[in-house]
């Protein structure tokens, strides 16, 4: 598999290099040079396979002979070793694609677990690796669990103190072993900027074997293509015909994966890019101007991003396929309307959380007669227990993953957003 750098088309790398590097020169994103294209016949065969078998086949089409099929298949089995995505009906023409039945109860388990398997496979000389990442909530837990207890790997996760939910924090700050967590006295953007500085520090990078694990890594994106095929396979012929998918967007990786699935032959009719009030992309789609504003904190905290990392990949795909960007659905939902929608959903018997509720709202308002709509359930509502309970005025149960950890003390270090301090910490640890 060959990929090019979106900021420097002369930089061409293979899959292994792209996974290890994360980003290319000038912080450019890698994008596949060739996209597979499935015939109707192949698609029919793929849709009849089970989730694991089909996922291995799809990723093999992308990655090619750089990783042997048997090895890839084994990695996928290990990565996706949890409850499959589910479709739960919500109204007569809308259902939720629940992607939150993994070990950390968010869709990020798919990408993070596949990436950890691939990195482990590529680290043939068993070099020491330090994974450094910043999280606005769910990435931290997914990455921590994906690399937990792996030999020669140390994981360091920065997060904004007090800006993620209590249970989100418990999920990754109680593990210990090779997982080190640091609560930064600042915003998510400050955490991300510390990580960027670390990656620009050549000496630090060498000494610690620094590797990134954020959502721009191509392995995470490819893994996410697989559940769009699974969703399609789970639907009846009738519902497949006019399928609209609404996606709660933050860094726009999930949407890009869905567009990639469509681009290689999965006949999804259209997508809706749904955001909260951090609406850089919806405003761009409306007036063609890219004008990020200061990030505002909301209850859908994983979407509090005003400079979405993966958007250039989505745009590139539109260009490559000669699709019209005007046909992409979009919209943003205020905090007040998000809360109202969670209540509306609860009244029809579906308990949801802020991220999925935003996607549902825009789908419900934009879906046409004869269409069938899926909105993505990106996190388990119990991860936002306090918020959701306060809004719907009802108690919600904790799944066993959260019940187990809710009373374990946090092991996090505290730090000011000061790169010198972080640098020293990384060198000592
Ligand atoms: C990360 C996350 C998102 C945003 O996904 P992107 O791929 O970054 O657009 C949405 N909802 C939840 C719950 C998340 O954790």
**What residue spans define the domains of the chain?**
77-106+218-399
What is the number of the ligand 1 atom nearest to the C-alpha of 257? 7
pLDDT tens-digit map of 145-164: 999 999 899 999 999 999 88
Dig out the tokens for 104 from the structure: 């950390």
From residue 423, alpha-carbon distances to 163, 189, 207, 292, 412 in Å are 23, 18, 11, 29, 17
By C-alpha distance, which of 148, 206, 216 is closest to 176?
A: 148
CB 311 within 8 A of CB 249: no
Conformation bin of residue 277: beta by default, left when phi > 0, alpha when psi is -120 to 50: alpha
Distance CA 296, CA 319 (A): 31
Cα 378 from Cα 255, distance rounded (Å): 12
CA distance 262 to 376: 16
pLDDT band at 241 (very low <50, low <70, confident <90, very high): very high
**Looking at ligand 1, which atom is closest to the CA of residue 254?**
7
Given CATH 3.40.50.1100, say whether it is the number of domain 77-106+218-399: yes
pLDDT at 43: 97
Closest approach atom of ligand 1 to CA 224: 7
Q: Taking CA 300 as the corner, what is the angle to CA 234 and CA 247, rounded to the nearest 5 degrees?
A: 30
**What distance in Å separates the CA atoms of residue 84 and residue 100, rounded to the nearest whole number?**
9
d(CA 188, CA 97): 28
Nearest CA to ligand 1 atom 4: 250
Dihedral Cα 308, 134, 216, 326, nearest 10 deg: -20
Mean pLDDT of the chain: 94
pLDDT tens-digit series, residues 93-137: 999 999 999 999 999 999 999 999 999 999 888 888 899 999 877
Q: What's the pLDDT tens digit per position in 305-342?
A: 888 989 999 999 999 999 999 999 999 999 999 999 99
Distance from Cα 249 to the centre of ligand 1, integer Å: 6
pLDDT given at position 211? 80
Question: Residue with the nearest Cα to atom 2 of ligand 1?
Answer: 302
**CA–centroid distance, residue 10 to ligand 1 (Å):** 31
Region of 126 on the Ramachandran plot (φ > 0 left; ψ -120 to 50 alpha; else beta): left
For residue range 27-42, what is the model confidence (pLDDT) as tens digits? 899 999 999 999 999 9
Nearest CA to ligand 1 atom 8: 251
Mutation to probe ligand 1, out of 248, 301, 342 (largest number of atoms < 8 A from CB): 248
Our mutation pick for probing the ligand 1 site, out of 106, 216, 308, counting the most ligand atoms within 8 A of Cβ, is 106
How confident is the model at residue 189, as a pLDDT? 79
362 CA to centre of ligand 1 in angstroms = 16
Q: How far apart are the first and last CA of the chain?
A: 36
User: What's the average model confidence in pLDDT over 47-55?
Assistant: 97
- Residue 116 has what pLDDT? 95
Helices (H), 174-252: 188-199, 202-208, 218-234, 237-240
Between residues 128 and 60, which one has the greater pLDDT? 60
Q: 202: CA distance to ligand 1 center in Å?
A: 30
Q: pLDDT at residue 214 above 80?
A: no
Q: What is the pLDDT of residue 165?
A: 85
User: In sequence order, what DSSP letters do the residues of 311-358 get, joined into one string?
Assistant: HHHHHHHHHHHT--GGGSEEEE--HHHHHHHHHHHHHTT----HHHHH
- Which residue among 250, 272, 305 is best mutated to probe the pocket of ligand 1, counting the most ligand atoms within 8 A of its Cβ? 250
Compare 125 and 175 and report the one with higher pLDDT: 175
Residues with CB under 6 A from ligand 1: 106, 108, 137-138, 215, 248-254, 302-303, 355, 378-379
Percent of the chain with pLDDT over 70: 100
427 near 201, Cβ under 8 Å?
no
Average pLDDT over residues 2-7: 97
* pLDDT grade for 192, boundaries at 50, 70 and 90: confident
Distant-in-sequence, close-in-space partners of 244: CB < 8 Å, separation ≥ 6: 268, 269, 270, 271, 272, 329, 363, 366, 367, 371, 372, 373, 374
Question: How many percent of the chain have pLDDT more than 90?
Answer: 84
pLDDT (tens digit per residue) in 248-298 = 999 999 999 999 999 999 999 999 999 999 999 999 999 999 999 998 989
């Amino acid at each position: 598999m060959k990929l090019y750098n979106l900021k420097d088309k002369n930089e061409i790398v293979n899959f292994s290099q792209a996974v290890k590097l994360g980003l290319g020169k000038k912080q450019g994103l890698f994008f596949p040079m060739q996209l597979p294209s499935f015939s109707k016949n192949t698609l029919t065969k793929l849709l009849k396979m089970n989730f694991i078998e089909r996922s291995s086949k799809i990723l093999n089409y992308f990655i090619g002979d750089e990783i042997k099929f048997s090895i890839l298949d084994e990695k996928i089995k290990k990565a996706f070793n949890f409850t499959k995505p589910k479709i739960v009906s919500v109204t007569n023409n809308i259902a939720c694609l629940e992607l939150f039945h993994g070990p950390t109860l968010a869709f990020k388990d798919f990408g993070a677990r596949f990436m950890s398997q691939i990195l482990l496979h590529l680290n043939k000389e068993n070099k020491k690796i330090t994974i450094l990442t910043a999280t606005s909530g769910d990435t931290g837990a997914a990455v921590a669990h994906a690399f937990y207890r792996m030999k020669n790997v140390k994981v360091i996760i920065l997060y904004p103190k007090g800006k993620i939910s209590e249970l989100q924090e418990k999920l990754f700050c109680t593990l210990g072993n090779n997982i080190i967590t640091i609560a930064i006295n600042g915003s998510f953007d400050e955490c991300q900027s510390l990580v960027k500085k670390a990656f620009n520090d050549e000496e630090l990078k060498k000494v610690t074997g620094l590797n990134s694990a954020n959502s721009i890594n191509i392995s995470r994106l490819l893994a996410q293509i697989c559940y769009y095929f699974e969703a399609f396979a789970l639907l009846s012929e009738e519902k497949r015909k006019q399928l609209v998918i609404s996606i709660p967007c933050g860094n726009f990786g999930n949407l890009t994966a869905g567009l990639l699935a469509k681009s290689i032959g999965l006949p999804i009719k259209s997508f809706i890019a749904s955001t909260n009030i951090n609406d850089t992309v919806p405003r761009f789609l409306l007036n063609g101007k890219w004008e990020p504003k200061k990030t505002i904190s909301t209850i859908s905290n994983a979407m509090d991003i005003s400079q979405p990392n993966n958007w250039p990949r989505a745009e590139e795909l539109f260009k490559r396929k000669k699709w019209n960007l005007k046909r992409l659905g979009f919209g943003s939902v205020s905090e007040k309307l998000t809360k109202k929608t969670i209540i509306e959903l609860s009244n029809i018997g579906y308990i949801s959380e802020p991220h999925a509720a935003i996607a549902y709202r825009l789908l419900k308002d934009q879906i046409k007669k004869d269409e069938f709509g899926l909105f993505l359930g990106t996190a388990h509502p119990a991860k936002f227990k306090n918020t959701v309970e306060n809004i719907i005025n009802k108690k919600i149960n904790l799944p066993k993953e959260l019940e187990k950890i809710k009373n374990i003390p946090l092991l996090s270090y505290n730090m000011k957003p000061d790169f010198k301090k972080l640098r020293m910490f990384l060198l000592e640890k």
